[in-house]
Amino acid sequence: MKVLNLYSGLGGNRRYWKNVNVTAVENNEQIASVYRKLFPKDKLVIGDAHAYLLNHFREYDFIWSSPPCQSHSKMMRATRHTINTYPDLKLYEEILLLKYFFDGSWAVENITPYYDPLVEPSVKIGRHLFWSNYSIAPFDAPELKGFFSAAPAELKKWLGYSYKGNIYYKGNHDGGQVLRNCVHPELGLHVFSESKKSGSARIKSKAITIKQKQQAYEIRY
Ligand SMILES: C[S@@+](CC[C@H](N)C(=O)[O-])C[C@H]1O[C@@H](n2cnc3c(N)ncnc32)[C@H](O)[C@@H]1O
């Protein structure tokens, strides 16, 4: 089974996946080096996941995407954040591309945003929202008390990581940020496994047929 793991980070979501042929895409060298050690058999692309998706999505059976959540997060509205930033709508670009053009199974993960999601998610599990084209059953995702203030060592233990030192994501002074970005491995496995359940209803979006495209063209010109 060919799987594309976009914005792969430290690979929290991917940790318990078995019998898969994974291509991971991550643009941060330091984060990717931890991923490489954990998953030496995965093909690891250092580059832009958004562009990679557009150019390669037809080559895979299953696609997971975890675009950066910072610009959508509730923290964005907290008083100490004074920088004006647009929510990164690449999240929705990817959901729409997968929904209307991809024939395999897919899941896009992000956190619960500070606004009403622009596309209705399929399910909310813990602090995560998932958009997908198959049913994802509710799940008791492991939770860590004091998650937002937990020290890196505590977060590593909770997620099962043992790499040395801290990684500081984009100049963030908190070495725990990169770990807080992870999907817990058990949740990653649950969401992935649900796509393979025989009863899992694949929600098909109507693909636009060539005839419809021609009709639209004729109406416009
Ligand atoms: C939310 S984290 C992914 C967490 C991952 N799913 C896990 O469970 O461990 C997002 C990751 O995307 C990476 N990233 C951000 N922008 C990227 C881009 N344009 N292309 C590839 N990776 C990117 C960040 O460095 C970060 O590691």
Q: Which pLDDT belongs to residue 203?
A: 65
Domain that holds residue 134: 2-220
Among 16, 35, 181, say which to mutate for ligand 1: greatest number of ligand atoms within 8 Å of CB: 181
CA of 7 to the centre of ligand 1 (A): 3
CA of 196 to the centre of ligand 1 (A): 24
pLDDT in tens, 40-75: 999 999 999 999 999 999 999 999 999 999 999 987
What residues does ligand 1 touch, defined as CB less than 6 Å away? Answer: 7-13, 25-28, 31, 48-50, 66, 68-69, 181-183
pLDDT in tens, 12-31: 999 999 999 999 999 999 99
Q: Which pLDDT belongs to residue 219?
A: 52
pLDDT in tens, 97-126: 999 999 999 999 999 999 999 999 999 999
CA of 36 to the centre of ligand 1 (A): 14
Overall domain count for the chain: 1
CA of 167 to the centre of ligand 1 (A): 13
Helices (H), 43-109: 49-56, 90-101
Closest atom of ligand 1 relative to the 25 alpha carbon: 21
Q: Is the pLDDT at 207 greater than 90, yes or no?
A: no
Q: What angle do CA 47, 50, 51 make, to 5 degrees?
A: 70
Q: Is the pLDDT at 217 greater than 60, yes or no?
A: no
Q: Which pLDDT belongs to residue 85?
A: 84
What's phi and psi for 207, nearest 5 deg?
Answer: -75, 145
User: What CATH code is carried by the domain that includes residue 154?
Assistant: 3.40.50
Q: Which two tokens stand for residue 90?
A: 């690449």
State the sign of the Cα–Cα–Cα–Cα dihedral 74, 75, 80, 84.
Answer: negative
Closest atom of ligand 1 relative to the 52 alpha carbon: 20
Global pTM?
0.90
Among 8, 65, 106, 183, say which to mutate for ligand 1: greatest number of ligand atoms within 8 Å of CB: 8
